[in-house]
Every structure is written in C-alpha cells, then in structure tokens.
Amino acid sequence: MAQEEVQNGGPEKVAEVSFTALKPQLMVEAPKAADAVQFYKSAFGAVEAGRTVYPKRKAEQEQPHVLSAQLELGGSTILVSDIADNSSPVKTEGTGCVLCLETEDVEAAIAKAVSAGGVAEGEVTEGDGACCGGRVGKVKDPYGYVWLICSPAKKCGDAEA
C-alpha cells in the first residue's frame, strides 16, 4: 500500500491523509457480543486477537459488556461490540455496521471527509474508543454509512478468549 505523506494541515485545510487499516465493526445488542464472538469463531474460524470490556460494569454484571473484541478473519480484522442504551459513542441508527479507518491524523482525515460531503458527528474523543485507538471521531457519509476515524490501535487489552 502506498503511503502518502501526511500534511499536518489542521481542520481548516484539506490535507493528504493516508489510512493504515480498515476494520468493519459489528454492533451487537448487549450483552450478546461475547456470544457473537463465539459464533464467529465456530462458524468462520475467526481468531480473537484481543478484547476490551467496559470496566465499570464488571462488578455489577455477570457478563461485562464488550467495548471491542478484535477478530482476525480472512486476512482482515473485524471488531465486535456490545451496544447498550446510550453507553456507546458509536451507536448508529438503522445500520449496525460501522467502518473504522485508522490514520495518524484524525483531524485532517475528518476535515477532508467533510470537505467531500461527509458530516462530522460529535467531537473527537480521547480514550476508550471502541476501535481500540487513542482518539476517535465520527463521520457520516451521504449514503448513510458511519465511519470512525481513529488513531492507530493501541494494543488491545488482555484477550479474554
């Protein structure tokens, strides 16, 4: 994959942006994500590479909600996440699949997508991004799909396979 030079143009300027990964993220009604991961292992031979859970819920629930489970399948990575109420920043209406794009320059990537006709939703947030990245923003494209623009994934927490 050709890497283009990333220009740090800031949000006002349309910069060249390159993406280092694309990961479909499948949203599953909580708390079924753990079951879904098991299904993808059984059905397709997916291999779990990592899993992060919502720490808050560990004490109060039998099965902690899955923020993001990373599965290797067909040479790609998919993410499986529990969606509950308003607990997730990536809740979508209608379609349960969002697309995570990793890039070194989240703001420039969002600015470029917006200049092309996408709509930025919410703020760029730090921390427990469902993509396992450090920073994550959201762009809805004109065709209804939601793209998460994330900084490259930190190594996912300990796998709970």
Q: Which residues bind a copy of itself (CB under 8 A)?
A: 1, 4, 16-22, 24, 26, 28-29, 32, 35-36, 39-40, 42-45, 72-76, 78, 94-97, 99, 101-102, 109, 112-113, 116-118, 139, 141-145, 147
Q: Which of 128, 99, 96, 127 minimizes the C-alpha distance to 21?
A: 99
Q: Give the contacts of 39 (CB within 8 A, at least 6 positions apart).
A: none
When the beta carbons of 60 and 74 are compared against a copy of itself, the nearer one is: 74
Cβ 77 to a copy of itself shortest distance, Å:
9
Question: Is 23 within 8 Å of 46 (Cβ atoms)?
Answer: no
When the beta carbons of 56 and 98 are compared against a copy of itself, the nearer one is: 98
Cβ 60 to a copy of itself shortest distance, Å:
24
When the beta carbons of 1 and 59 are compared against a copy of itself, the nearer one is: 1
Helices (H), 45-138: 106-115
Integer Cα distance of 60 and 134 in angstroms? 26
Handedness of CA 67, 24, 85, 63 (dihedral sign): negative
Query: What residue type is assigned to position 49 of the chain?
Result: A
Cβ 12 to a copy of itself shortest distance, Å:
17
When the beta carbons of 38 and 55 are compared against a copy of itself, the nearer one is: 38
